Amino acid sequence: MNIAVFASGRGSNFAAIIRAVKKGKIKANLALLVSDNPKAKAIAKAKRAGIKIALVKRENFNDKKGYEDKIIEHLKENNIELIVLAGYMRLVSAEFVAQYKDKIINIHPALLPSFKGAHAIKDAFDYGVKVTGVTVHFVDEKMDHGAIILQKAVMVEEGDSEDSLERKIHKIEHQLYPKAIQLVAEGKLKLQGRKVKILP
Ligand code: GRF
């Protein structure tokens, strides 16, 4: 299975995926990094790992369709079968989702459907929850909404700060995302409406 990772920033999840592929924990081909941000640290990580990079800048296109069509061109060229969003800071359009139906997954640093959006860790911390966590889900046309593949809880303990909570969440993300990707690669997920069955 050919995988493309989409990342706009630091790329720590991307790095965890690279490590998991190298160790054989994900049995798939990490074929492409797609980024919209020339300053993304993920780009340097791809270079070091010898992974192809498609840098597609939104400002080079008049509209979102032109931008996404260019990305789709790269995906087709590389026979991409699974899109892994890992800190990709743009919403994908409904048309894009339709072209890659059930072939796009995302990781979110909270237990969905709680704390959707770009500041989930801060929002959960400020709210004062005692339990938060990580969600890996299929991407549909609504933000942070598609069917849930895996979730793992993270406790907010006395003495935790937003920073320490963030560190704990990222640690779990780096374990959970490779696990979910391997489940997809093995064909072990069966979608039944909003429910994702994990086959034995
Ligand atoms: C992660 O917290 C992920 O859950 C969210 O964006 C962040 C990306 O971090 N979608 P990184 O770029 O992988 O380090």
Ligand 1 test: best mutation among 173, 175, 176, 177, most atoms within 8 Å of CB? 173
Q: Which candidate in 108, 119, 137, 170 is catalytic? A: 108
What pLDDT, in 10s, does the model give residues 89-130? 999 999 999 999 999 999 999 999 999 999 999 999 999 999
What pLDDT, in 10s, does the model give residues 12-35? 999 999 999 999 999 999 999 999
**87 within ligand 1 shell (Cβ under 6 A):** yes
**133 within ligand 1 shell (Cβ under 6 A):** no
**191 within ligand 1 shell (Cβ under 6 A):** no
The protein residue whose alpha carbon is closest to atom 10 in ligand 1 is: 87
What pLDDT, in 10s, does the model give residues 147-176? 999 999 999 999 999 999 999 999 999 999
Residue 97 CA to ligand 1 center (angstroms) comes to 20
Residue 145 appears among annotated catalytic residues: no
Residue by residue, what is the 3-state secondary structure of the chain?
CEEEEECCCCCHHHHHHHHHHHCCCCCCEEEEEEECCCCCHHHHHHHHHCCEEEECCHHHCCCHHHHHHHHHHHHHHCCCCEEEECCCCCCCCHHHHHHCCCCEEEEECCCCCCCCCCCHHHHHHHHCCCEEEEEEEECCCCCCCCCEEEEEEEECCCCCCHHHHHHHHHHHHHHHHHHHHHHHHCCCEEEECCEEEECC
CATH architecture of 2-198: 3-Layer(aba) Sandwich (3.40)
Query: CA 83 to CA 154: how far, in whole Å?
Result: 26
Give the model's pLDDT for residue 140: 97
Return the ligand 1 atom nearest residue 106 CA.
Answer: 10
Predicted TM-score (pTM) of this structure: 0.97
